[in-house]
């Protein structure tokens, strides 16, 4: 058992020109695979190895195993988050993406942020203000929607939040195409966000 690298639901060049194929291939085959391999090493021979990755992320304090507890916990926090976040990312994007959400998610974004454009501004601002590496998240926290930035691969799941959409702000996600211009990456990324999938996640997260 253990954790495995999921296939992308589209070819590596499917998100061009918004996400270039060489960056996407390296991101998936290199970065994501490294998270999966390290997570398997961290949790092998523990009950967590056969659970969905959300389980250890939601209970980091319970990962105990004598003198290597801190090692396991630290690596699970980073690589478990990395595995979950990239798994969510690949299925958040589509060559048919872009545009705006519809239905209940659109209404909730309007209620919470004052409209879709205001929501996008919030995400862009959080991405601009995030120092170093991390993600900007749209989450359900309690009954409400929230935009929040978290460093590195720290997970909303560890804060009791339900991640709906994550924007990878690590340089490996955009540097080859956009250099240091993170704002250009954010602008390109909106063109491939699959709002139908995000809407289903929102519905599944409950009212
Ligand atoms: Mn990444």
Q: How far is the CA of 105 from the centre of ligand 1 (A)?
A: 25
Percent pLDDT > 70 in the chain is: 97
Percent pLDDT > 90 in the chain is: 87
Q: How far is the CA of 66 from the centre of ligand 1 (A)?
A: 31
Q: How far is the CA of 17 from the centre of ligand 1 (A)?
A: 18
pLDDT, average across residues 46-54: 91
Residues 6+ apart with CB under 8 A from 200: none
What pLDDT score does 63 carry? 78
DSSP alpha helix (H) spans, the chain = 21-25, 33-43, 54-58, 69-75, 81-90, 103-113, 116-129, 175-178, 182-189, 195-204
Q: How far is the CA of 27 from the centre of ligand 1 (A)?
A: 6
Residue 136: phi, psi to the nearest 5? -105, 130
- The total of other beta-carbon atoms located within 10 Å of residue 25's CB is 14
pLDDT, tens only, 173-197: 999 999 999 999 999 999 999 999 9
Q: How far is the CA of 123 from the centre of ligand 1 (A)?
A: 17
What pLDDT score does 71 carry? 82
The yes-or-no verdict on residue 89 having pLDDT over 70 is yes
What pLDDT score does 46 carry? 86
Q: What is the C-alpha separation between 48 and 55, in angstroms, rounded? A: 7
What pLDDT score does 67 carry? 56
Q: How far is the CA of 186 from the centre of ligand 1 (A)?
A: 14
Q: How far is the CA of 13 from the centre of ligand 1 (A)?
A: 17
pLDDT, average across residues 20-33: 97
């Amino acid at each position: 058992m253990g954790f495995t690298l999921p296939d992308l639901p589209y070819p590596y060049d499917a998100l061009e020109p918004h996400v270039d194929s060489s960056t996407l291939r390296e991101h998936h085959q290199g970065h994501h695979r490294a998270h999966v391999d390290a997570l398997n090493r961290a949790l092998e021979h523990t009950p967590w190895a056969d659970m969905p990755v959300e389980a250890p992320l939601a209970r980091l304090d319970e990962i105990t195993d004598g003198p290597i507890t801190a090692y396991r916990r630290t690596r699970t926090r980073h690589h478990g988050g990395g595995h979950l976040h990239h798994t969510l990312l690949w299925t958040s994007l589509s060559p048919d993406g872009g545009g705006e959400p519809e239905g209940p998610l659109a209404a909730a974004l309007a209620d919470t942020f004052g409209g879709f454009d205001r929501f996008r501004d919030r995400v862009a601002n959080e991405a601009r203000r995030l120092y170093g590496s991390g993600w900007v998240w749209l989450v359900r926290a309690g009954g409400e929607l929230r935009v929040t930035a978290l460093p590195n691969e720290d997970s909303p799941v560890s804060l009791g939040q339900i991640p709906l959409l994550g924007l990878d702000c690590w340089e490996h996600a955009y540097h080859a195409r956009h250099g240091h211009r993170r704002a250009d990456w954010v602008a390109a990324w909106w063109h491939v966000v699959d709002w139908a999938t995000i809407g289903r996640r929102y519905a599944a997260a409950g009212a």
